[in-house]
Amino acid sequence: MSMELLAPAGNMEKLRYAVWYGADAVYAAYRSFGLRAASENFDREQLEQAIGFCHGSGVKIYITVNIFPDQRDLEQLPEFFQMMAALKPDGLIIADLGVLALARRYAPELPIHISTQANVTNYEAAMVLRELGAKRIVLAREMSLADIAALRRKLPADVELEVFSHGAMCVAYSGRCLLSAALTGRSGNRGACAQPCRWNYALAEETRPGQYFPIEEDGRGTYLFNSRDLCLMPYLKELQEAGVASLKIEGRMKSFYYVACVTQAYRRALDDLAAGRPFDPALMDEVRAVSHRDYCTGFLLGDPGPEGQNPLNGGYLRYTDVVAVDAGRPGWVIQKNKFSAGETLWVVAPAQKPRPVRVERLWDEGGLPLESASHAEMPVRLEMELPPHAILRRERREEQRNQNERKA
């Protein structure tokens, strides 16, 4: 049985790109109760549109309700779950037992998925949650491939297992971090993390206020808590054999371009796996094309030790820039970054490998020729038609890449 590809949807635009570029399912949040409060998220009307769009495209949609709530939150949740019961998403992603109980009471027909925030790492915990109504467990990110396989062998077949396969990782155990709340008053456990693990730290001595001493001898700074990003794409066969039902891509706060490229890369890798073809290492170029930190395999192959952290690199690597997107009418694009006539760009499109194209001529809406598309969001006509929902990108030159890596 093939694994589900589950992509992030921080807003309607990202949701559409996830669906267009090959997701089997997406996960999204209402304006409250999710762990990405800074994401745009969805109001009721938008959720209704999102669910309709997904179901009309043959794609599932799960709604995150995975904060650790206080009493005020609990008082608002019955009305929220009644709304969910009416909208009929394909599942609810929940971390807290009280929230689970309310979901079962007010939206009993909706499947329950247990969030990774619940840090399920063993059979007994999984079985208790199954007895409480859970249909799927999103496993703790600290589990190895051997741990996942052992758990799958013991669990009944009616419990699905989901793992995070790609994206940002948290320095804290299963993402349950108190650092942001302690330093900024913004709780990561309530969706408002300020990501202090990504900050640059130094040593201070109490009798020398204002003097900061680097902890490492490196001009770029010291990022004591900075995790690498996760990428398990080369290990999809092993994950499938271990009994994983769903692969989750992190990134509701990332760009539509990130969602499109990463979803498409995993889609192609999963399709190759289903067809019996070996993993194509060239697909790694696509997940490197988006803004990312150095990749690692997390805990999949065992304790990563220092390989999971990157104390000398607090920035992002980016090897491409989006210059335009399909405008929804033949031959037209919407400018995202300046590009010029005569440039060679790359076309990224659903169900296609990226390919280079030379943009010989450009025109504005009045039919006048352009030397370059230099105004933000301006419509531009090309001399070619792009596939529906295509993205035009520029490959960064080698010196730009090197400079980007030095800054990171």
The DSSP result for 324-351, as a single string, is EEE-SSTTEEEESS-EETTEEEEEE-TT
Q: What separation in angstroms does the CA of 165 have from each of 120, 232, 235, 285, 381? A: 16, 5, 9, 17, 38
- Please count the residues of the chain: 408
Residue spans in the chain of domains classed CATH 2.40.30.10? 320-407
* DSSP 8-state class, residue 83: H
Half-sphere exposure for 236 (CA within 13 Å, toward CB): 28
Q: Is the pLDDT of residue 407 over 60?
A: no
Percent of the chain surpassing pLDDT 90: 69
Q: Is the pLDDT of residue 8 over 60?
A: yes
CATH class of 320-407: mainly beta
Residue type for position 124: E
Q: Is the pLDDT of residue 378 over 80?
A: yes
Residue 78 phi/psi, 5-degree rounding, is -55, -45
Q: What local confidence, expressed as pLDDT, does residue 198 receive?
A: 66
Residue spans in the chain of domains classed CATH 3.20.20.70? 4-173+230-292
Q: What local confidence, expressed as pLDDT, does residue 397 receive?
A: 61
> What is the C-alpha to C-alpha distance for residues 313 and 405, in angstroms, rounded to an integer?
9
> What is the C-alpha to C-alpha distance for residues 155 and 134, in angstroms, rounded to an integer?
12
| 188-202, 248-262, 348-362, 371-385: segment of lowest average pLDDT | 188-202
Q: Which residues contact 131 (CB under 8 A, 6 or more apart)?
A: none
Identify the three-state secondary structure at position 6.
strand
> What is the C-alpha to C-alpha distance for residues 64 and 290, in angstroms, rounded to an integer?
25
- Topology of domain 4-173+230-292, CATH: TIM Barrel (3.20.20)
> What is the C-alpha to C-alpha distance for residues 98 and 237, in angstroms, rounded to an integer?
36
pTM over 0.85: yes
Q: Could you report the per-residue pLDDT of 103-161, keeping only the tens digit for each? A: 999 999 999 999 998 999 999 999 999 999 999 999 999 999 999 999 999 999 999 99
Q: What separation in angstroms does the CA of 25 have from each of 51, 163, 260? A: 11, 14, 13
Find where tokens 């495209």 sit: 57
Strands 320-326 and 391-395: antiparallel
Mean pLDDT, the chain, rounded, equals 88
